[in-house]
Structure 1
């Protein structure tokens, strides 16, 4: 990821791997209580600022979106790898009882509102664990 002056990047917790000297790593606190409580990533994320190239751990493939002002994208929280600091993040409850019971995606979604760039990961670590779990041998007594 290329960090530009004046445009901080917000990453999922513990995603930072390495960077050039001009990049500063700090903590980012979610501004909304509901985002921290129900957002999966919690209140604390990572903020990259300064200027230079940074490397982040992202699971699966990366899908990049450039949101226009006011444009929104609804995603599962676990698929958010990062976003520019100009993007607003909000947690919303999934509407409808049928969706909550039979939707298979949980009770909450994340709404990202532009302007800015977002990076989504196609396979969060929870998905990797669920995919390999059936193949892990268990000890039978």
Structure 2
């Protein structure tokens, strides 16, 4: 299996598979692929074959889809491609017992079949964060390779033991699953969502974190003024 990531602000992940090799992704997320792939859509993909329908429901609670699709390459091999859904970057991460990751809901793109995707953290902070959906992270465990899409430009930090960082929850894209993450209210900072306080994620080392310069909520707010006003339409009936 070989992978390549091309493009700049809207990158594309292309994975070339040898005969019989498999890759898993959320249903319907494929952009294009060569002919001959066998597709199997199920709730157990991305769970190590465990959990079935209940594991699928947990993925839904974590902001993912109920079903995952497994793509198996034909006898001649083949290529499958996934396009980014937001301006940003696609990153490849290697997962094993020592390297497990928490990624913001919606970031998971695809993985090899032995990577397990589950709900890692769900915290409701109020109507101002992600339209009231709260903060949700998916946990990537198992053994294999995964690809995640992160929004905007990415800044990476490695925190030593005893170090911590306060981060707006929307900018925390990915971090080592072993790190301690808490949420704190900072008084005295007025903002349009919470009045005189601001909720920030407080993450503690040791471990690595990936911060994204763009958040889906801020992107939606930026383009909202340019969208048609559906309420202004009139009916001819």
Report the TM-score range of the alignment, normalised by the length of the smaller protein. Answer: 0.7 to 0.9
TM-score, L = length of structure 2: 0.49
- In the alignment, structure 2 segments of 5+ residues that lack a partner are 1-92
Aligned match of 2:107 = 15
**Pairing 1:91–2:199 present:** no
- Match in the other structure for 1:122: 213
- 1:35-50 alignment, distance < 5 Å: 36-38=123-125, 40=129, 42=134, 44-50=136-142
- In the alignment, does 2:164 pair up with 1:77? no
Secondary structure of 1:49's partner? strand
1 or 2, which has the higher helix percentage? 1
Following superposition, the deviation at residue 67 of structure 1 comes to 0.8
Kindly state the Cα deviation for residue 49 of structure 1 after the two structures are TM-superposed. Answer: 1.1
Q: Which has a greater percent of strand?
A: 2
Q: Offset of 1:80 from its aligned partner?
A: 1.1
SS at 1:78 equivalent: helix
Q: 1:132 aligns with which of 193, 218, 223?
A: 223
Q: Specify the structure having the higher radius of gyration (Cα).
A: 2
1:107 corresponding residue in structure 2:
198
Distance across 2 between alignment mates of 1:46 and 1:61: 21
Aligned length: 134
Q: Measure, in 2, the Cα distance between the counterparts of 1:68 and 1:117.
A: 9
- Mean Cα deviation higher: 21-30 or 65-74: 21-30
Q: Per the alignment, in what secondary structure is the counterpart of residue 222 of structure 2? A: helix
Q: How far is the alpha carbon of 1:101 from its aligned partner?
A: 5.0
The DSSP-based 3-state class of the residue aligned with 2:166 is strand
Higher relative contact order (CA 8 A, sep 6+): 1
**Which consecutive unaligned segments of at least 5 residues does structure 1 have?**
31-35
Residue 25 (structure 1) shift: 1.4
Match of 2:154 among 32, 39, 62: 62
TM-score (norm 1): 0.79
The 3-state SS of whatever aligns with 1:95 is strand
Q: CA deviation at 1:51?
A: 2.6
Worse overlay, 18-27 or 84-93? 18-27
Per the alignment, in what secondary structure is the counterpart of residue 86 of structure 1?
coil
Name the CA distance, whole Å, in 1 between partners of 2:137 and 2:196: 22
In 2, are the aligned partners of 1:6 and 1:49 still within 8 Å (CA)?
Answer: no
Please state how far the C-alpha of 1:44 moved relative to its aligned partner. Answer: 4.8
